[in-house]
Amino acid sequence: MKTVKDHAVIPAKTVERLALYRRVLLDLAKEGTRDVFSHQLAALSNNSPAQVRRDLMFLDFPGGSPRNGYSVDGLAARISETLDSGATRDIALVGVGNLGRAILDYLRARQPALRVTATFDVDQSKAGREIAGCPCYHIDVMKEVVQSRGVTLGVITVPAEKAQDVAERMVDAGIRGILNFAPIPLRLPSHVFTDRLDITMTLEKIAYFASRV
C-alpha cells in the first residue's frame, strides 16, 4: 500500500540515491537485465537493501514482487517521472576556465534532461565564441539570455572572490538552483536552492580519514 502523496517532498539524501539508482538501472537495462532485487540494487550503489526499499517508498511505485523483484525499465521510468517530471532543464554555466570546460564536456555526453544552454565569462575575448558547441556570452548580458531562454539552473566555476557576485546576478536573472564549485558557501535568499561541490575540502576530508588506520 502506498501512503506517500505525489507531491510529498523527498529528502535530499533520498533524491541523491534515487538519481544513482536510475543510473544503475539504465546500465542494467542496456545489458538486457529485466528485473532486479533490492539487494542487487543495493550492492550496485553500495548501501543496504533496507535503505533501497525505504527510498523506493517515496516513489509510489506499485513495483516489487518477491518472485522477481522490480522491473528495471518500470522503476527507471518512475524515478524519472518523480525527479524530472520528464522536462528538460536548461543550465547557465559561468566561468569558462578549465573546470567549466570539463563540466561542459562531462554533461554533453550524459543526461539529455540536463543541458548547458549558454556559458558566460568576464573575459571579453571568450564572448561570441562557441565552447564545446555551446555559445559563450559576456557576463553582463546574462540576465537577458537567461530570461529569453528560460534557464532555471546555474553552475558557478569562477574563482572564490567572484562567486558571491555571480550568484547574486544569477538570482536576479531568475535562476532557481545553483551548483557552486567555488570553495566558499553562497549567501542567497532561501527560495534559491544551492549546493556546493568543494574539491579541496573533500580531499582534505579524505586525507584525514585515510591516515587514521
d(CA 108, CA 174): 24
Asked whether position 50 contacts DNA by CB under 7 A, the answer is yes
Instruction: Pick what 190 binds: its own copies, DNA, none; C-beta below 5 to 8 Å, kind-dependent.
Output: none
Q: Which residues bind its own copies (CB under 8 A)?
A: 7, 9-10, 12, 15-16, 19-20, 23-24, 43, 45-46, 83-85, 89, 91, 97-99, 101-103, 105-107, 110-111, 113-114, 152-153, 155, 176-179, 183-185, 187, 191-195, 197-213
Distance of CA 31 to the CA centre of its chain: 24
CA-to-CA separations, 19 to 70, 148, 153, in angstroms, rounded? 16, 29, 17
What angle (nearest 5°) sits at the alpha carbon of residue 93, between those of residues 80 and 27? 30
Among 19, 23, 44, 53, binds DNA (CB under 7 A): 53
**Across-strand partners of 156?**
94, 180
φ, ψ dihedrals at 58, nearest 5°? -75, -10
Report the chain's C-alpha Rg in angstroms. Answer: 20
Least spacing, CB of residue 66 vs its own copies, in Å: 26
Alpha helices in the chain (DSSP H): 12-30, 38-44, 49-56, 72-84, 98-109, 142-149, 160-173, 199-211
Cβ proximity to DNA: between 66 and 86 the closer is 66
Least spacing, CB of residue 170 vs its own copies, in Å: 11
Cβ proximity to its own copies: between 67 and 187 the closer is 187
Cβ proximity to its own copies: between 82 and 135 the closer is 82
Cβ proximity to DNA: between 71 and 157 the closer is 71
Cell, residue 65: 514482487
Instruction: Pick what 11 binds: its own copies, DNA, none; C-beta below 5 to 8 Å, kind-dependent.
Output: DNA
Asked whether position 74 contacts DNA by CB under 7 A, the answer is no
Binding residues for DNA, per CB under 7 A? Answer: 1-3, 11-14, 37-39, 47-51, 53-54, 56-57, 61-67, 69-70
